[in-house]
Amino acid sequence: MPVNYYNSTQVYPEWSELSHYGINHLKVGDIVKLHYHDANEYWIIISGSGTCTTEGDTYEIGPGDMVLTKRGDEHSLVVTEEMVAVYIYGIMPEGGRVGYLFKGVDDVK
């Protein structure tokens, strides 16, 4: 079953292990602030490079790298070379939210 990111009605089959994905085009100097998600997130770097922080560790990333971040773990990115990256969300728990969530602001109590 093909799923098209540019179609606003992404529908995944019940057996799918992912719940959302997208393509980011980032410029040199772009900063993705420290945030978390309600699902596991995976980045696949297609081109460019940057410095990412996830689970408290910092890594230099570039083409062919995959960054895996567990649900609820904070992560960030500083782009050092124009970047294209695909991001994928794993299974979203019931009531889970798509998008950047910030500790102290979006925490569910």
CATH number at 63 reads 2.60.120.10
Task: Please indicate, yes or no, if residue 10 is contained in any of the structural domains.
Answer: no
Q: Is residue 58 part of a domain?
A: yes
% of the chain exceeding 90 in pLDDT: 73
Q: Higher model confidence: residue 15 or residue 62?
A: 62
By residue range, what is the domain housing residue 85?
20-89
Residue 83 lies in a domain: yes
In a domain, 26, yes or no: yes
Q: How much is the pLDDT for 40?
A: 97
Q: 0.85 exceeded by the pTM?
A: yes
Q: Is residue 14 part of a domain?
A: no
> Does residue 35 belong to any structural domain of this protein?
yes
Residue-level pLDDT at 1: 55
Residue 102 lies inside a defined structural domain of this protein: no
Residue whose C-alpha is closest to residue 84's, from 53, 52, 49? 49
Q: Is 59 a domain residue? A: yes
Structural domains of the chain, count? 1
pLDDT at 74 over 80: yes
